[in-house]
Amino acid sequence: MFFCLRIDLDYVPWDTPDAKEFGHGEPAVVLRILELARYTGFKFHFFASNRVLRAFPAAADAVLNDGHDLDWFCKHPEVPGARYAEALQEFASLGHSPLGFALRSAWPESVGPFEGIDQLKFVSGPPGPVPAGLRLFPVEGKPVREVVRTGMSSRSWADSTKTQLREAASRNRGLTLVVRPQVLARLDPKLSHLRELLELAAAVGMNVRTLREVLAAESG
């Protein structure tokens, strides 16, 4: 029984549509998330897209230096091969190797294995098919990006997520919450609700862990 805070990093300032919709608050919120982790002692799981790894390697470096886990955010699973090769080069420049990847939508059934996939262990994404040999950690519920687009308030988002946490705890199963710092800058800029969720997870007996830690615990 675990609670994983999955943090997807995909902000670049020249992404005009996202910037117009959500603003430019991601860098500040990432720093607040790292500060929250230091204060609470929790470890989070970050996933970075190719463009973030290229444009802001310092952000990925800060995540690793603070002891968090970092893996690949696969934005375009319909063409994963070349993009994964590019990501591997960026991870290598950080002295780091990915063990899994995160998806926004289910893995396309028409897409087969790609070069290097045999080195990966898991996928974080919606329920559905995944490449053979990879463990799926399912993500349920709406990510914060969709929450904001529906007009839901930060309090309603927090309350509905608390319900999910209690249900997961009562069923003795894990739960992954997907957030994007760029969107949190609008929904929960001071991270007060996020802190509530982390505190509740601990209170109901869920271990706040990364997916890498869950895998290691299961294999150990």
Residue 44 has what pLDDT?
Answer: 98
| CA distances to 33, 67, 127, 182 from 185, in Å | 11, 23, 28, 5
Residues in the chain with pLDDT < 50? none
Q: Report pLDDT digits (tens) over 131-165.
A: 888 999 999 776 777 777 778 888 998 999 999 99
The b-or-e profile of 144-174 (16+ CB within 10 A means b, else e) is bbebbeeebebeebbeebbeebeebbeeeeb
Q: Which residues pair with 136 in a beta bridge?
A: 123
Residue 217 has what pLDDT?
Answer: 92
Question: Can you give the CATH number for the domain in which 45 is found?
Answer: 3.20.20.370
pTM of the model: 0.95
Residue 209 has what pLDDT?
Answer: 96
Return the SS3 of 3: strand
User: What's the chain's Rg over C-alpha atoms?
Assistant: 16
Overall number of domains in the chain: 1
Residue 70 has what pLDDT?
Answer: 98
Residue 112 has what pLDDT?
Answer: 75
The b-or-e profile of 4-16 (16+ CB within 10 A means b, else e) is bbbbbbbbbeeee
* Domain that residue 78 falls in: 2-219
